Amino acid sequence: MPAFVMGGLALASGIMGAFGASSQAKAEAAAAEIRQRNMNFQNQWQKQAQDRNTMRQFQAALERNIQIEKSANKERALAELYLDKTFANQKSTLSKQTQEVNSKFLSTLTNRGVTPTSGTARALLRQNIESLGNNMVALKLNHRSAYQDIINQHQARLSQRASTISPDLGVYIPSTGGIADSSSTALTTGLIQAGLQGASTGLMAQMRWGDK
């Protein structure tokens, strides 16, 4: 067999092998890209499911907080209303009682022949007025203390609200790249090797049989 024929056959075989290797490398790169896309899709779907669950929990916390705040505000408003009414009734009652005591006191003095404008009568009346003032101060202090208790209770109810800082869901970044497509390298390398193999085969044949 002529040397050039054997060299040609070796070259053709090498070229076919180079194309085959290139096709296989191309197929492997395509399969790796498909696997990467599938993984990205699954990861993105899982991320979206987690985000939806996080937002549902956040929305539920917001709704609970709204209900707690509404209830706390209503309780405080009613407590303040009842407290103010009680304070007004207490002041009115104390004032009426003091007037009744003074009236009876003056009536008693008159019945006993004591002049209401006398020093003793004025001193006793002044004591009654001072007593009224002290009692009124005590009522105001009690009212202020009770009002502060209402505020504290209101704050305690509001403290039951959950933290509602908007969650940072972040952004899903799919994996890209990193897939080696060695088909071009495989083809180039294969063609070079095929050329060398063809030349080597032809040279060896020529040396063995001689080029006819």
**pLDDT tens digits, 138-155:** 989 999 999 999 999 999
Q: Do the beta carbons of residue 166 and residue 58 sit within 8 Å?
A: yes
pLDDT, mean of residues 197-212: 49
What confidence tier does 35 reach under pLDDT thresholds 50, 70, 90?
confident
pLDDT of residue 16: 57
pLDDT of residue 199: 46
What confidence tier does 37 reach under pLDDT thresholds 50, 70, 90?
confident
The conformational region for residue 104 under phi > 0 = left, psi -120 to 50 = alpha, else beta, is: alpha
pLDDT: which is higher, 97 or 75: 75
- Quick: pLDDT tens for 13-25: 555 565 565 566 6
pLDDT of residue 95: 84
Which token pair is 174?
Answer: 């799919």
pLDDT of residue 91: 87
Average pLDDT, the chain: 75
pLDDT of residue 79: 94
Q: Do the beta carbons of residue 131 and residue 101 sit within 8 Å?
A: no
Distance of CA 25 to CAs 19, 118, 212, Å? 10, 124, 40
Those residues with Cβ within 8 angstroms of residue 202's Cβ, 6 or more apart along the chain or in another chain: 3, 4, 6, 7, 8, 10
- Quick: pLDDT tens for 101-137: 878 877 877 777 767 677 777 787 788 778 878 888 8
Which token pair is 2?
Answer: 């002529």
